[in-house]
Amino acid sequence: MAQSRLWTALPEWAVYALAAIPAVYYLAAGFTNNLGPDPLRVLENSLGEWALRFLIAGLAVTPLLRFARINLVKYRRAIGLIAFAYIVLHFSVYLALDRQFDWPAIWKDIVKRPYIMFGMAAFLMLVPLALTSNRYSVRKLGAAGWRNLHRLVYPAALCGALHYLLLVKAWPPEPIIYLLIILLLLGVRRIRPARRQRAA
């Protein structure tokens, strides 16, 4: 019980505050020209990478509870909303700064560039999840309907990982590691701890 209380000691607002630090850093560095010779690419990619990290953190909540008895369920909604906020920032940089709201060019990117297609798919799947991350939506959709809708996070995370993997030219290890972690987290969700199997 003491271990369980330790993992839930951090208030939810502090999770939001801590998660905002990378965004504040990169946005401030971008406005002050401290992101190197290609600030737009660094800003866009960094925000997208943090979005993927928070998606992975959200996917890890259930396996951590099942296999390590670490209960972070209290923070799952916050982690999901934080991931979506970083995706919105990443997408906004692309729309406003990279493409400057040139809609024909944006549409051409979606059609001709697979990594943009995967990124857009991930974003569209996560929009309804962000909009329904509240108690009212749970009551309106019903618990089962709400859970089914929020399973969209699984293909969305995969699309996000593929977006990152196809974005880079030489395929460095980092995007491959992210994809493998997501596949692992999705795979272990199919496994039940042996203790529970015996109890059943």
pLDDT tens-place string over residues 47-93 = 999 999 999 999 999 999 988 888 999 999 999 999 999 999 999 99
% pLDDT > 70, the chain: 92
Express each pLDDT in 177-188 by its tens digit: 999 999 999 999
CB contact at 8 A, 52 and 161:
yes
User: Does residue 115 lie in a domain region?
Assistant: yes
170: helix, strand or coil: coil
Domain, as residue range, for 94: 2-193
The C-alpha atoms of residue 126 and residue 155 are separated, in whole angstroms, by 10
- Report the domain count for the chain: 1
User: Does residue 198 lie in a domain region?
Assistant: no
User: Does residue 46 lie in a domain region?
Assistant: yes
Express each pLDDT in 138-172 by its tens digit: 999 999 999 999 999 999 999 999 999 999 877 78
Express each pLDDT in 3-13 by its tens digit: 545 556 788 99
Nearest CA-CA partner of 83 in 183, 7, 167, 182: 182
Burial label for 185, CB within 10 Å (0-12, 13-18, 19+), is: buried
User: Does residue 104 lie in a domain region?
Assistant: yes
pLDDT of 189: 84
* Residue 197 confidence class, pLDDT cut points 50, 70, 90: very low
User: Does residue 199 lie in a domain region?
Assistant: no
Burial label for 188, CB within 10 Å (0-12, 13-18, 19+), is: middle
Express each pLDDT in 129-143 by its tens digit: 999 999 999 999 999
CA 150 to chain centre: 13
Global pTM reads 0.90
CA distances from 110 to 19, 46, 59, 88, 107 (A): 29, 21, 27, 17, 5
User: Does residue 9 lie in a domain region?
Assistant: yes
Asked whether the predicted pLDDT for residue 128 surpasses 80, the reply is yes
The C-alpha atoms of residue 3 and residue 68 are separated, in whole angstroms, by 11
% pLDDT > 90, the chain: 78
CB contact at 8 A, 67 and 193:
yes
User: Does residue 200 lie in a domain region?
Assistant: no
pLDDT of 172: 84
